[in-house]
Amino acid sequence: MALYLGIDIGTSGSRALLIDERGAVKASAGGGHTCQAPKPLWSEQDPAEWWAAVRKAVPEALKKAGARPAEIKGIGLSGQMHGLTLLDAKDQVLRPAILWNDQRTAEECAEIVSRAGGLPELLRMVSNPALTGFTAPKILWVRRHEPQLYERARKALLPKDYIRLLLTGEYATEVSDASGTLLLDIRKRAWSNELLGKLELDAGLLPKVYESPEVSGKVTEAASQALGGAVLPGTPVVGGGGDQAAGGVGAGIVQSGIASVSLGTSGVVFLHADTLKTDPRGRLHAFCHAVPGKWHMMGVCLASGGSFQWFRNALGQPEVEAAKMSGADPYDLLVAQAAAEPAGSRGVCFLPYLTGERTPHADPYATGTFVGITPSTTKGALARAIVEGVCYSLRDSFEIFKALGLPVGEVRVTGGGAKNPFWRQTLADVFGQGTRGLAAAEGPAYGVALLAAVGAGAFKSVEEACRATVQTCDPLEPKPPHVKVYNAFHPLWQNLYRSLKGDYEKLSKAVHA
């Protein structure tokens, strides 16, 4: 039997997943990571934790599947995007990785726009605005604030590509993840020498760029030993994908008109594009897809599931304790309270900007905000307002798609939130459009396992692999009375951010002075 291994380096943990040549999942396993926030707006992680999690997960997945190492014919890598891992001349990690949700680089973003000659010029070069989460401003931050360390840096790698180095000994990335560095010419699918020159960055810091199904290296003897022999030396490792592009492949978003909504810690709206089309205002990400020669448009709410996690931790202790007694999930208990409230949450609105926001505001200073609380407001209304606020934020991206003339005929919902019918129904109601789930909702690890199968020759193309393996299920249609409520509330909700925008920055600077 031929098996294909997908490895996903997530924020809270890494996962290894095995599929067969028909796309059936044989087994999966994982290992956890911790995050650190040593200062306000910072988010960092020790790359050693990624490798430790991989070394745990891969042998465990093989054991669960009852598989032999020789059966693994290819490996695909996925990971959290934008994270900066700096290495010295001996490939030693110089500092903790700066993660995708780190917000320290507002000044560096302004510097990039200035050096590029303004936003239109930056969009011309790399098709995206300078956002605090991206990799390039992180590099400039290290250069400015840690100059001695920067002088020792010889390579800047994304999280999954650091694991690739440990597996293969190769400095390599692929187009979808490289798109999120702000240093890739998205049209040419190659590093932008023009922007690198303007930023005075050495192109030698960056790895070679591959297409996602291309073989980028082979497992070394040392890596095989580190994995306990679970993978044989010489096993090919394909380019893989950033977590969103990989998740797009895993959800079958590989043709025009199909979009996905991923409900994880962040919320992501993802749309396939046969030709590159950029938002002239830079509100959407325009990235290379993991499908060779194709692109995708993406909008991001930084704290979707993260908002509800905060709510559970801050105000959900009674539900946590009740769950311990009953064996229930505290999230389910809170969602049940939300579902008991009427659409519109009795006038309570929530702006889900706990860690700043990307789409459509690109505002690192924005914070989570409740508006409309009265003495009669219940915990259930607050919980429902969070769900609705996240869905409003994701609707913002869909409205930009429509304004750009990008059709959305089908919406597939993935991620942890997709498992909850109330979350999916609220999405359908806020969007005014039906949604579908996935028969095998396995996320980015599944997508890169499919890419590994393509790279190993099991399928002729990524599109063929998805047609053969990805199936949708559980269609949900919007409820017209709820659609009416949300169509009335959404513009009111949008105006709240406009009213508060200037105050967010003033508050942040006052707090962090």
**Contact status, residue 304 vs residue 341, Cβ threshold 8 Å:** no
CA distance 179 to 81: 9
Q: Which domains does the chain have, with CATH numbers?
A: 3-251+442-472 (3.30.420.40), 268-440+479-511 (3.30.420.40)
- Strands 349-351 and 155-157, by their bridges, are unpaired
- How many angstroms separate the CA atoms of 277 and 280, rounded? 9
CA 284 to chain CA mean position, Å: 14
Q: Give the three-state DSSP class for 297.
A: strand
Three-state secondary-structure class, residue 287? strand
344 φψ region: left (φ > 0), alpha (ψ -120 to 50), beta (else): left
Distance from C-alpha of 128 to C-alpha of 173, rounded to nearest angstrom: 19
Contact present, 179 and 206 (Cβ < 8 Å): no
The pTM score is: 0.89
Rounded Cα distance, 32 and 396, in Å: 33
Q: Which residues are catalytic?
A: 243
Q: What is the mean pLDDT of each run of 10 residues along the chain (513 residues)?
A: 96 95 95 93 96 98 97 98 98 97 94 97 95 96 98 98 98 98 98 98 98 98 98 98 95 93 90 90 92 95 92 95 93 96 98 92 92 97 98 95 89 88 96 92 93 97 96 94 98 97 90 73
Residue 335 pairs in a beta bridge with none
DSSP 128: S
- Output the CA–CA distances (angstroms, integers) from residue 275 to 271, 338, 435, 451, in the order listed: 12, 41, 25, 21
Q: What angle do CA 258, 261, 85 make, to 5 degrees?
A: 110
Let me know the angle formed at the C-alpha of 504 by 498 and 181, rounded to the nearest 5 degrees. 90
The per-residue pLDDT for 213 is 98
Beta pairing partners, 369 = 351
**Dihedral angle at the C-alpha atoms of 179, 180, 184, 190, nearest 10 degrees?**
-40
Give 83's strand partners.
none
Half-sphere exposure of 147 toward its Cβ, with a 13 Å CA cutoff? 1
Measure Cα distances from 446 to 24, 54, 114, 417 in Å.
10, 16, 40, 18
Determine the Cα–Cα distance for residues 90 and 152; give it in Å rounded to an integer. 10
Residue 491 backbone dihedrals phi, psi, to 5 degrees: -65, -30
Q: State the pLDDT at residue 513.
A: 66
The DSSP-derived string for 222-284 is HHHHHTTTSS-TT-EEE--EEHHHHHHHHTT--STTEEEEEESSSEEEEEEESS----TT--S
